[in-house]
Each structure stands twice: as structure tokens, then as C-alpha cells.
Amino acid sequence: MTAASSRAERRAATAAKILGAARAEFGEQGEDGATIRGIARRAGVDPSLVLQHYGTKQALFALAVRPATDLDAEDVPAHLTEVLAARLHDLPPATRALMRSMLTSPEAAAVMRDYLQERTENLAKTLTGEDAEARAAMVVAGILGITIARHFLELPPLADLDEAASARLLEGWLATLR
């Protein structure tokens, strides 16, 4: 192993540690409440390293809250069932941070809007009919609404919904897409 590659590996490991700490910090504090110092403390690094790796708090926030998934046409029902189950039963810190901040932070709103538009476009590609994008947007918005109702408003019927029931309900919902 050369000094350059071990240095690059250490840099990548530090960046990953910072990103993980940022996800946790944003998840607990939201974008407004999280600080570079808090993220650095959680990651066990100097605050200057956070800025060196990610530039700004806003740039780090945008990366920390953005899940990466691609949607294949044949996997739509399984994917949406998985997403709905996750939104009902487990909300990752990054998602919680983005949702907590999206109504008060223009940067968070832009990240959420871009993400939801991407999800809408990917889903629309798997549908037929001229209103495919509108139907896809309604499903995406519905899942967003379910997530808010479950995790932020704590709507009781959603709190007790198990994975099998959510899959059954989603199946009926997906049938209306075709």
C-alpha cells in the first residue's frame, strides 16, 4: 500500500465518518439546529475538516439527507411496498432531518422537491397513459403525507399498521395506477 493510497483511504474514511455524523445530527436537530461543531464533535474530528470535506453546512445537509435508489419498472410494487413499510416503521435520521427542515428552510425544501421530482419521474416511466406523471406524483405525495402523519403527527391508525397490512393496502393503491 502506497502512502498516497493510504492517505486517500484515510480521507475517504474521514469523509464517511463526517457524513454519518451529519445524518445523525441533522436527524436529531434538523438543519437549523445542527451545527458544524456538533457534527465534528459527533464524528470525532476538528470542525475545519467538516468544511474541508463538504464546503458548507448546506452542501453537507443536501448530501446527508439524500437517499440513493433507482427504480426499475418490474420492481415498482416491491419498491413502493418497501418504501411505505420504511416510512411507517423506520424513519432514518437523514429523512427525519429533511422532513423536519423542509417547511422552514429553502435549502431543505429544494432538496426535498428535487428528490420527490426524481422519484416522480422514475415512477412515471413505469406507468402507461398520458397522465402517468400526475398519477406518479400523487403516489409520491401520498407517501410523503403518510410519513408526516406517522412520524410527526403520530396518527394512531398508522402507528399500529404492520408490514403485511401496509403491503395489502399499497397493493390496492397501486392497482389504481395502471
Dihedral in degrees, nearest 10, Cα atoms 144, 146, 149, 151: -80
Average confidence score pLDDT of the chain:
79
Q: Residue 178's pLDDT band (boundaries 50, 70, 90)? A: low
Q: What nine digits make up the cell of 34?
A: 445542527
Residue 87 has pLDDT above 60, yes or no: yes
Can you tell me the distance from the alpha carbon of 129 to that of 46, in angstroms, rounded to the nearest whole number? Answer: 53
Report the CATH number that the domain containing residue 38 is assigned in CATH: 1.10.10.60
Is residue 123's pLDDT more than 60?
yes
Q: What are the backbone angles phi and psi of residue 81, rounded to the nearest 5°?
A: -65, -45
Residue 153 is part of which domain span?
73-175
Helix, strand, or coil here: 129?
A: coil
Residue 173 pLDDT: 72
Model confidence at 48: pLDDT above 60: yes
pTM, full prediction:
0.58
Provide the number of structural domains found in the chain: 2
Cα separation, 40 vs 139, whole angstroms: 37
Mark whether 112 and 161 lie in a shared domain.
yes
